[in-house]
Amino acid sequence: MDHSIEYNQGIIKELVAKMICLHEYSFRMVEHKWFNILMKSMNPNYQPIGRKEIKSECMQVFHREKEVRKSLLKGVDSISLTTDLWTSNQTISYMCVVAHYIDEDWKMQTRVLAFIELDPPHSGNVIADALYACVTEWKIENKITSVTLDNASNNDGAVDALKAKFLVRRGADFDAQYFHVCCFAHILNLVVQDGTEVLDPLIKSLRQTVKYFKRSPSRLKAFVDTCKSLGVTVGKRLHLDCKARWSSTYKMIKTARKYKGALTSHAGSDANYAWAPLEAEWDMYDLIAPLLKSLAVVTTAFSGSLYPTSNIFYLHIFGVKVAIKEAMKSTSEHYRVMAEEMLEKLDKYGKKRTTPW
């Protein structure tokens, strides 16, 4: 075989492997008939690649890129980590480890270090062992300054185990006081979800409403017709929230509020639609909407990934506590009790921190 052809084939394999990795295509794609027709038309010297061969090439690309990232991290002095566990639809648990650091040009960088399967049980020691193994593999154990996890009880045990490991490894060089950084976005999410149980009937009704209309184009069209007949402007579509993210629940309610009258009217004309929220449920939302809006804004701000959030923490947490204390002055007993519960839970989570809120 001509060496130039062999060399070009190697370049093509690498490019195809990078494309598969970037777009998460199946390895079997390289065996598809029209993929090979396309490649052959672009380069007559192209030789078909098998799925096993391209899998091997993808792994080589991965290892080469990993070595490049390792060399870059050698020049970094301090690295902060964030980590979380995630369970797939197949009930397989994964752990993601992300590094955050400032590069030589004073730009914030974020890089995924690991996305690994984690066998149960997910105890503190198991999480700590997996995280420590990751940083030692990357040879950055002497650069870690902090780790951010959510507030699950097993993560408290993981932090204690990690502190012990880093103390043995680094001795007096390791500062354990500010090592554990609580995820305030997660704390706020828990506080709002626990404190707004009074909205549960409204939230459940809206979730069923969205599912009902989304399942059938004819149902959705009928509802749009109802809106038009009432002169209600059809703007943002109804959408289902993510139960784990309060800000998405707030967005679902806020969007549906514009269709309040249309939903009530449609329930009278569609015998199968039985989830129109009650007037009292909307009244409760209208009462606490200003507080919910301020909490949603803070949640969104703390969930940003393209900018640092530590410098905006105290300003936002101060605003949250002011908003909750204002709500505690309400003449509505439900609203006042809700605010008191939220403040109590916020202070409870705050006691876990090494610095005062």
Q: Which of 18, 41, 71 is a domain's end point?
A: 71
Q: Are residues 151 and 214 in the same domain?
A: no
Q: Quick: pLDDT tens for 190-205.
A: 888 777 788 899 999 9
Q: Which two tokens stand for residue 186?
A: 């997660």
**Distance (Å, rounded) from C-alpha 58 to C-alpha 53?**
9
**Distance (Å, rounded) from C-alpha 80 to C-alpha 101?**
6
CATH number at residue 84: 3.30.420
Rounded to two decimals, the pTM is 0.72
Q: Are residues 8 and 25 in the same domain?
A: yes
Task: With beta carbons less than 8 A apart as the criterion, state whether 335 and 327 touch.
Answer: yes
Task: With beta carbons less than 8 A apart as the criterion, state whether 321 and 275 touch.
Answer: no
Q: Are residues 79 and 9 in the same domain?
A: no
Tell me, yes or no, whether 356 lies in a domain. no
Q: Which of 71, 96, 129 is a domain's end point?
A: 71
Question: In degrees to the nearest 10, what's the CA dihedral of 197, 201, 207, 210?
Answer: -140
State the DSSP string of 292-345.
HHHHHHHHHHHT-SSS--GGGHHHHHHHHHHHHHHHTT-S-HHHHHHHHHHHHH
Q: Are residues 334 and 231 in the same domain?
A: yes
Which residue range(s) make up the domain with 114? Answer: 75-182
Q: Which two tokens stand for residue 158?
A: 């993981």
If you ran DSSP here, which 8-state letter would residue 48 be given? -
pLDDT attached to residue 351: 65
User: What 3-state DSSP class applies to 60?
Assistant: helix
Q: Are residues 246 and 321 in the same domain?
A: yes
Q: Are residues 239 and 106 in the same domain?
A: no
**Distance (Å, rounded) from C-alpha 314 to C-alpha 312?**
6
* Residues lower than pLDDT 50 in the chain: 1-7, 354-357
Tell me, yes or no, whether 357 lies in a domain. no
pLDDT attached to residue 354: 43
Q: Quick: pLDDT tens for 14-58.
A: 899 999 998 999 999 999 999 999 988 888 888 899 999 999 999
Tell me, yes or no, whether 355 lies in a domain. no
Domains of the chain: total: 3
* Cis peptide preceding 121, ω within 30 of 0: yes
**Burial level of 226, CB count in 10 A (0-12/13-18/19+)?**
buried
Q: Which of 120, 149, 182 is a domain's end point?
A: 182
